[in-house]
């Protein structure tokens, strides 16, 4: 289910209203969902492998704390920060500046991801950032294999992310469910 960017993130406490949270794809919403963003973001760093190791361990410890509290949104937000550590470290491994594309984002595309006609920036490899990425990926893989986390994902999707809550009609099983409303 898509992440719902139409919510009033300044006003919603997702700890108090977890049913409003949508998992989305990848890291969607990682810098929007409170109070988790404010709790996890100060720990998110990847300048060096030592810093990345400390950061990933601290974020994973937060995941375990959220898991103990049966706080799915916190668990998933910890996952998103570990995933973001992995993907951003890889970007800085490939592009020393962290900029994936050459030139400014077209005005009408600000706030959206993608190349939008820009060429990919030249690769300038930074092996230290590859080690940072490996560290975050190891913690991410451990989290994503956690049986309690996986069960919580399923439970959240069944209780909070049903198509009927999104005013979509079910169209069958699998990937095509709700496809007519996305056309």
Mean pLDDT of 160-175: 49
The answer to whether residue 100 sits within a structural domain is yes
pLDDT for residue 75? 98
Q: Is residue 10 part of a domain?
A: no
Domain for residue 6, yes or no?
A: no
CB contact at 8 A, 23 and 157: yes
Q: How confident is the model at residue 165 (pLDDT cuts 50, 70, 90)?
A: very low
Could you identify the residue written with the tokens 């937000």? 77
For the chain, the distance separating the N- and C-terminal CA atoms, rounded to the nearest angstrom, is: 15
Please provide the average confidence, as pLDDT, over all residues in the chain.
87
pLDDT confidence band for 51 (50 / 70 / 90): very high
Q: Which two tokens stand for residue 78?
A: 């910890």
- The predicted-structure confidence for 104-152, as pLDDT tens digits, reads as follows 888 888 777 788 888 888 888 999 999 999 999 999 999 999 999 999 9
Angle formed at CA 62 by CA 17 and CA 71, multiple of 5 degrees: 30
Instruction: Collapse the DSSP code of 45 into the 3-class scheme (helix H, G, I; strand E, B; otherwise coil) and give the result.
Output: coil
What is the per-residue pLDDT across 24-49, written as a single tens digit (0 to 9) for each? Answer: 988 999 999 999 999 999 999 999 99
Domain presence at residue 81: yes
Structural domain boundaries, residue 30: 18-182
Asked, for residue 167, whether it belongs to a domain, the answer is yes
Number of separate domains in the chain:
1
The mean pLDDT value for 61-77 works out to: 98
Residue 72 has pLDDT above 90, yes or no: yes
Is 86 part of a structural domain of the chain?
yes
Structure tokens at 137: 């990926």
Backbone angles phi, psi at 143, to 5 degrees: -60, -45
Residue 143 belongs to a domain: yes
pLDDT higher than 70, residue 181: no
- The more confident residue out of 5 and 75 is 75
pLDDT at position 172, please?
Answer: 43
pTM, whole model, 2 decimals? 0.81
For residues 72 and 22, the answer to whether their CB atoms sit within 8 Å is: no
Q: Which residues pair with 120 in a beta bridge?
A: 101
1 in any annotated domain: no
Residue the block writes with tokens 């996952």: 79
Please state which of the ranges 81-90, 128-137, 159-168, 170-179 shows the lowest mean pLDDT: 170-179
């Amino acid at each position: 289910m898509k992440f719902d960017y139409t919510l009033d993130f300044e006003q919603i406490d997702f700890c108090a209203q977890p049913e409003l949270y949508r998992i989305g794809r990848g890291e969607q919403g990682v810098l929007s969902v409170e109070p988790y963003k404010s709790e996890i973001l100060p720990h998110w760093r990847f300048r060096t492998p030592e810093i990345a190791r400390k950061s990933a361990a601290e974020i994973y410890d937060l995941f375990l704390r959220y898991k103990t509290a049966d706080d799915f949104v916190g668990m998933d937000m910890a996952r998103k920060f570990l995933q973001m550590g992995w993907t951003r470290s890889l970007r800085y491994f490939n592009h020393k500046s962290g900029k994936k594309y050459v030139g400014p984002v077209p005005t009408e595309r600000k706030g959206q991801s993608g190349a939008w006609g820009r060429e990919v920036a030249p690769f300038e490899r930074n092996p230290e950032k590859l080690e940072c990425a490996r560290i975050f990926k190891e913690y991410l893989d451990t989290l994503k294999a956690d049986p309690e986390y996986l069960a919580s994902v399923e439970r959240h999707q069944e209780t909070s992310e049903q198509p009927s809550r999104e005013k979509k009609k079910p169209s069958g099983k699998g990937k095509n469910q709700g496809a007519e409303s996305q056309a």
